[in-house]
Structure 1
Amino acid sequence: MDSDHDDGPAQYASPPCFMHELDPEFHAPLSDWTDVRRWRKAERERLIAARLAVPADVRTAMSQRIAEGLDAVIGDIAGRMVSLYWPFRGEPDLRAWMTSVNERGGRTALPVVIEKARPLIFRAYVPGDRLEKGVWNIPIPAEGDPVLPDIVISPIVGIDPACYRLGYGGGFFDRTLAAMPFKPLVIGVGYELQRIPTIYPQPHDIPMGRVVTEVFEA
């Protein structure tokens, strides 16, 4: 799921500004959506590379801390439907936490891309259920009727102080939340290194309700 609708080709006259790599507080002077989309693409690549550079064992430890933070934020999970995700490109791995949710009386689901530029659906999933390859070869439940989660756990590429999430650029996240018949608790999860001063939020961007990193909730 993604927080910015910047799919599609775009042409630029000059390369993006990288002052943010020298000074994290630097905000590039972005005048329109073309500039924002261009900046987001460069920032996305930078943040994913930084995430992948973290040793696997360190990411595992941080994922455990994030799971503990989720428990602290959510509280009693019994009877609640939680949508998670299958970890991709260094994202926090919460599959063990997914198992614990089911053990404690909760239910879990995974998001499924049905069509480009359309909202996601959620299918119930319990560890051990049959999976098949979805978009980007990410595993998805092979069958099952759509469900509506009470809690949506969404991985971030970047996050700003207003809880606006930088995603992969497909726009699925915002379309999905806008289409839901009720507002779930939406929690962005990621690492502290993914905090940025702003994503330059646009009218279509929807902020997270909460954010949890390896230093717990903020």
Structure 2
Amino acid sequence: MCASPPCFLHELDPAWLGQPGWQDVQAWRRAERARLIACRAAVPHAERRGRDRLITAHLRAAVPDFAGRHVGFYWPFKGEYDVRPLVRALHREGARLALPVVVQRAAPMEFRPWRPGARMVPGIWNIPVPAEGDPVLPDTLLVPLVGFDARGYRLGHGGGYYDRTLAAMPRRPRTIGIGFESLRLATIHPQPHDIPMDLIVTEAGALEPRA
């Protein structure tokens, strides 16, 4: 477990903080994002692999019909849960798979089909993305978490891509946020543009967000 930052802001009761403005929230999120990413990256490899196995088991239990779904997933980045062993297994079981692609900055992403052996090219932040393929609409999204709260709101890498994408989709997919218990926050101070996850899965189990 990582130590708290000197300001201890993330541990304060949100009610004590009052109603922070958007600039205050942005500054707080930047600080928390840096802290949580550093915390996540510092986890030893063996411990991370053990947590990944637990998360995979909880995902399988929470979504027993994965093989019949069209699953959008993500390529792991900076110590995130490595979803690739799971999606390769899902491919063998018959699931359709897709990866998000940033086609324009500050705009909704599109999803392109993926299968093992697909040709990949560097995307935003040099994360691999499928080189070709017509856009598709998954019915289930596995979404990485930098941080999260009990209401299902997520802290991401700061680009706002998932919120824009979900807001623009003609059909809302089931969204499953994936992260670690050490990333749990009292609140992310959600704003009108923030879209909560339908389910959050960590090494401790599956969390149904509360209203």
Superposed pair shares fold, TM > 0.5:
yes
Could you tell me whether the CA contact under 8 Å between 1:47 and 1:157 is conserved in 2? yes
Query: Which of 158, 162, 182 is the equivalent residue of 2:147?
Result: 158
Name 1:111's counterpart in structure 2. 100
Mapped partners of 1:156, 1:78: distance in 2: 23
For residue 197 of structure 1, give the secondary structure of its aligned residue in structure 2: coil
Mapped partners of 2:82, 2:143: distance in 1: 12
Q: What code does the residue aligned with 1:99 have? A: R
Query: Which of 40, 56, 67 is the equivalent residue of 1:78?
Result: 67
For residue 82 of structure 1, give the secondary structure of its aligned residue in structure 2: strand
Could you tell me whether the CA contact under 8 Å between 1:19 and 1:26 is conserved in 2? no
Identical positions, percent = 50
Query: Which of 168, 174, 186 is the equivalent residue of 2:175?
Result: 186
Tell me the TM-score normalized by structure 1.
0.88
Could you tell me whether the CA contact under 8 Å between 1:77 and 1:105 is conserved in 2? no
Q: What code does the residue aligned with 2:175 have? A: V
1:212 aligns to 2:206 (yes or no): no
Please report how far the alpha carbon of residue 66 of structure 1 lies from its aligned counterpart in structure 2 after TM superposition. 1.0
Tell me the TM-score normalized by structure 2.
0.91
Q: How many residue pairs are counted as aligned between the two chains?
A: 201
Q: What code does the residue aligned with 1:165 have? A: R
Name 2:77's counterpart in structure 1. 88
Q: What code does the residue aligned with 2:124 have? A: V
The aligned runs of 1:1-218 (5 Å cut-off) are 18-20=7-9, 24-27=11-14, 29=17, 31-218=20-207
Runs of at least 5 residues in structure 1 that lack an aligned partner in the other structure:
1-15
Q: Which moved more, 1:27-36 or 1:94-103?
A: 27-36
Q: What code does the residue aligned with 1:152 have? A: L
RMSD: 1.5
Runs of at least 5 residues in structure 2 that lack an aligned partner in the other structure:
none
Please report how far the alpha carbon of residue 79 of structure 1 lies from its aligned counterpart in structure 2 after TM superposition. 3.0
